[in-house]
Structure 1
């Protein structure tokens, strides 16, 4: 009882409360690392406190609850950023929190983080419950409490840390873990008001729709097209320290012996963002606040895609993915853009989310062999891998030559081992395609969806242009490779210093010798005009005209 009384006296006193505010402010700054963001962060904390004060009439409880919640949110953001490269967003609560498949994935893959965090939350609930019981209601009336809340919330916009024209998307990629969650509430406002890509094009003159596509002809037989999404991989031959570049010097090269750079629009996570652009030929950044959640926001709104183009050319289309069908709504989205079959976690018989990539390639081979026995159509199959994905706390890779490579980061060491293993598995898949080439010609396109968070410190040191808020920086460069078996691949559509991922699909069509529809032919012309750039094309008017014609054709629904 004496101890309880002392704790109560300590907590319900102005001096310790002010000290707690100061310590929390210092901790949040350590997570944010941007002094100009701190007024916004602390006004957000105050706003939260005034809401609790309005509801409870308890001053100390309201202050401690606001501080605790902000700390927990910020810590959760740090954990998410370390594993996904994307700060905590309010949509994580809306989408992930209500998605059992996504929640199961987090529990399975990130137990090392979730269990301690859950324990921290439990302790916080217990302490705050005691404070709620001990704290007395004050005599300040509801109108005064409501006025205090209104005054505090009026100060939050004045302290907003971004420029008015600055995309919030880059803020979430920047590791601003104390402010990102609060900034993300503006995305809810824009969603509620219907603000998005449609606003821009509603103001543009009506565009001429694309002509209806005609038959799809080729000079010869149509090759099978295999696309490998190499999870979390980038060209490690660019990392000129610790002997990494020497070991990987001959990897990440196409069949012509050349290396090819690919620009993506996400860093450290967000595989579905890159895959969206690859399959649709669209830049995620054109969708503003929807960018991180396009598989949900754009389901049923993209009516012409790489899949529908290939089906026009007589292809059977399928995607093999390591996650379950409904994870981040990717399965339903892929179906909505014309993919015939989804080979998900359950269908391929997966037992965990971090199988070696050989597992996914063997599942792909089983599907390919069955298809060739029962279906005469050419095949488009995308294989999404998983082995190089974070977290890197467990040593999962087999013994390999890179065991001798030791960097200054255990996460980077494990990441390098996994990439080496993944590339060995990929070479096995290439060998299978080569063995089949006399019976079935094929093209194997591999691309990295984004860089891994494990490489950030090293890339920052080696490439001074590294910047999260600049898509032209080294942060957004990965790679692609192209290998042809049983045919000569036209590599001219890929010959750019760095190709934006939105053009990768149409370049594959041209390399395969397939006759494009008017829409994809216009996209290819846009690629050439913009020198491989999409969102940041110097002729932005041409990009907007292309998008406007998609909208006029019913290929893209933005309202």
Structure 2
């Protein structure tokens, strides 16, 4: 009897699933869901034609109509949900290249599983559930008696209609679309980037038709008046100047923070929001704007490995420095370790070398690892040291209470993620104070300069920044979403602050400004970059004299300092 009831229920379920009205209802529900994620009605014809394209291809292969419809709807919905999660954590929509770079990067995949399991587990359950449901539909749905020619014609007609519904203007860069949170369409738009890569459209095309330029002269000897101080750069993960927010007691708590030794606040413009630390670090180390490479920006540590011949590391090596980076991630994460080595770093102290056991150690852990390296270097190596320390504690997600529960001037905001983020930043800044104190204690015998900067803002402060700054917009790269800070702390060394004196300094100029501040005679390429900074009032990609930026890039290419496709 139970089996008979079970069989009847399955028959009714099968009849319900394979009914035309059910399929229509599923399409309408999915379209509504996708619209809620896209938030742009003018994009929906492209989104739904993309769904139809998937369904047409599946129908061509399987001859099963209902299976093809439900599978296309499920695939699009899942892609959009994953895009939302990526956008919330990285500020960049899902891109087809994520499957090429991140999808084949075991270190990046391990980091995602470790740090974002709260998101991955529900998606995995959803994937398994969809797979089981679609297997049932496949088994129930009979093959249609429609010739392969007619099914192929349906595919062709659909793919001819998709370009007509393309959601961007002909001259609108796709990069901005991926920053806009258009989570239902971004992945499908990104397939055009594969097309452009296949037919050879790339960075070098922007220089087509421009007059030839002379290469830079060869670099001469590195002259510097006085002793060469150790140079330490601290990448303060996900931090921004919280002292500027006059809410929840933040101005009171952080009013004295995020200031250089001269007491001044200094604004830094970065090119990523919510994630993508390696994008900021790329610009710092190379003096290049990631935005000039368009949609390739998140993948430059892979795409440009071995193609950048002059960098902050090579400049300091030329001046006798030993160069090293201490990073909280594995050497191969987003290919950053190999990329940094390719641009001249002597050593990369990664997750394993510093003895890390998790990705979210308090920053004191990274600073203590740095001190161990510094002390060993001074015992065994007579060269001045250039060391970057990348931190991690203030990185998302903020669902776990990792920060000390120390009471301070901060009032609870009512937003648990914001509260946890603020506590982590406060703890990280106390750890940075400890690191500064170590450098100060040794300044008589080992003068040094410590440059600290925030690599990007955090999603945890998005509503706060949006409330205080009406121009806030993730898809507008000149907005306050891309504003962080940097600080300069000389320890027994002379520093000229003039190279930093701009209302706002783009991160691509931070390295050359550091070189100038300590009196290092820069190479012709870096000297030209400094002149460009002055001409452009601290702006790089958005310089008012864009032709001057392009001439600088052309000279890099002509000199063999930059190889592009």
Q: TM-score range by the shorter chain?
A: over 0.9
Partner of 1:181: 187
229, 236, 239: which is aligned to 1:233? 239
Partner of 2:163: 157
Structure 1 unaligned segments of length 5 or more: list them.
Answer: none
Q: CA distance change for structure 1 residues 312 and 160 in 2, over 3 Å: closer, same or farther?
A: same
Q: In the aligned structure 1, how far is the partner of 2:546 from the partner of 2:498?
A: 24
Tell me by how many angstroms 1:403 deviates.
Answer: 7.8
Is 1:263 the counterpart of 2:269? The answer is yes
Partner of 1:23: 29
Q: In the aligned structure 2, how far is the partner of 1:177 from the partner of 1:321?
A: 31
Q: In the aligned structure 2, how far is the partner of 1:169 from the partner of 1:457?
A: 23
SS of aligned partner of 1:523: helix
Q: In the aligned structure 1, how far is the partner of 2:176 from the partner of 2:458?
A: 17
Structure 2 unaligned segments of length 5 or more: list them.
Answer: 1-6
Partner of 1:65: 71
Partner of 1:50: 56
Q: In the aligned structure 1, how far is the partner of 2:289 from the partner of 2:94?
A: 22
Q: In the aligned structure 1, how far is the partner of 2:8 from the partner of 2:347?
A: 67
TM-score, normalised on structure 2?
0.98
- Whether the 8 Å contact between 1:402 and 1:416 is mirrored in structure 2 is no
Is 1:421 the counterpart of 2:427? The answer is yes
Deviations 1:203-255 (A, max 9, x none): 32221010100111111001111001111111111222111122111100000
Q: In the aligned structure 2, how far is the partner of 1:178 from the partner of 1:156?
A: 14
- Whether the 8 Å contact between 1:24 and 1:67 is mirrored in structure 2 is yes
Is 1:115 the counterpart of 2:121? The answer is yes
Tell me by how many angstroms 1:45 deviates.
Answer: 0.7
SS of aligned partner of 2:450: strand
Q: In the aligned structure 1, how far is the partner of 2:318 from the partner of 2:134?
A: 61
Deviations 1:408-446 (A, max 9, x none): 421111111111111111111111110110011111001
SS of aligned partner of 2:268: strand
Is 1:128 the counterpart of 2:134? The answer is yes
Q: In the aligned structure 1, how far is the partner of 2:438 from the partner of 2:410?
A: 30
Partner of 1:393: 399
Partner of 1:516: 522
Partner of 2:358: 352
Q: In the aligned structure 1, how far is the partner of 2:301 from the partner of 2:479?
A: 26
- Whether the 8 Å contact between 1:265 and 1:476 is mirrored in structure 2 is yes
SS of aligned partner of 2:505: strand
Tell me by how many angstroms 1:471 deviates.
Answer: 2.1
280, 291, 304: which is aligned to 1:274? 280
Give the ranges of 4+ consecutive aligned residues of structure 1 lying more than 3 Å apart after TM superposition: 401-404
SS of aligned partner of 1:479: strand
Partner of 2:496: 490
Partner of 1:438: 444
Tell me by how many angstroms 1:159 deviates.
Answer: 1.4
- Whether the 8 Å contact between 1:234 and 1:451 is mirrored in structure 2 is yes
- Whether the 8 Å contact between 2:67 and 2:141 is mirrored in structure 1 is yes
Partner of 2:4: none
SS of aligned partner of 1:94: coil
- Whether the 8 Å contact between 1:445 and 1:482 is mirrored in structure 2 is yes
RMSD of aligned residue pairs (Cα, Å):
1.1
146, 165, 174: which is aligned to 1:168? 174
Q: In the aligned structure 2, how far is the partner of 1:402 from the partner of 1:475?
A: 27
Partner of 1:244: 250
Partner of 1:373: 379
Partner of 2:111: 105
Partner of 2:418: 412
SS of aligned partner of 1:64: helix
Partner of 1:450: 456
Q: CA distance change for structure 1 residues 357 and 406 in 2, over 3 Å: closer, same or farther?
A: same
Out of 42-51 and 197-206, give the one that drifted further: 197-206
- Whether the 8 Å contact between 1:278 and 1:502 is mirrored in structure 2 is yes
Q: In the aligned structure 2, how far is the partner of 1:15 from the partner of 1:404?
A: 55
Q: In the aligned structure 2, how far is the partner of 1:115 from the partner of 1:25?
A: 25
* Superposition pairs of residues 203-352 of structure 1, within 5 angstroms: 203-352=209-358
SS of aligned partner of 1:54: helix
- Whether the 8 Å contact between 2:311 and 2:343 is mirrored in structure 1 is yes
TM-score, normalised on structure 1?
0.99
Q: In the aligned structure 1, how far is the partner of 2:498 from the partner of 2:456?
A: 24
Q: In the aligned structure 1, how far is the partner of 2:533 from the partner of 2:229?
A: 23
SS of aligned partner of 1:88: coil
- Whether the 8 Å contact between 1:403 and 1:417 is mirrored in structure 2 is no
Q: In the aligned structure 2, how far is the partner of 1:498 from the partner of 1:403?
A: 29
Tell me by how many angstroms 1:201 deviates.
Answer: 2.1
Q: In the aligned structure 2, how far is the partner of 1:28 from the partner of 1:518?
A: 52
Q: In the aligned structure 1, how far is the partner of 2:485 from the partner of 2:172?
A: 28
Q: In the aligned structure 2, how far is the partner of 1:238 from the partner of 1:162?
A: 36
SS of aligned partner of 2:99: helix
Q: In the aligned structure 1, how far is the partner of 2:421 from the partner of 2:166?
A: 37
SS of aligned partner of 2:214: coil
520, 525, 545: which is aligned to 2:551? 545
Out of 169-178 and 44-53, give the one that drifted further: 169-178
SS of aligned partner of 2:387: strand
- Whether the 8 Å contact between 1:402 and 1:417 is mirrored in structure 2 is no
Partner of 2:537: 531
Partner of 1:481: 487
- Whether the 8 Å contact between 1:253 and 1:260 is mirrored in structure 2 is yes
SS of aligned partner of 2:226: coil
Tell me by how many angstroms 1:404 deviates.
Answer: 4.7
Is 1:464 the counterpart of 2:470? The answer is yes
SS of aligned partner of 2:101: helix
Tell me by how many angstroms 1:402 deviates.
Answer: 4.5
Is 1:146 the counterpart of 2:165? The answer is no
Q: In the aligned structure 2, how far is the partner of 1:406 from the partner of 1:42?
A: 43
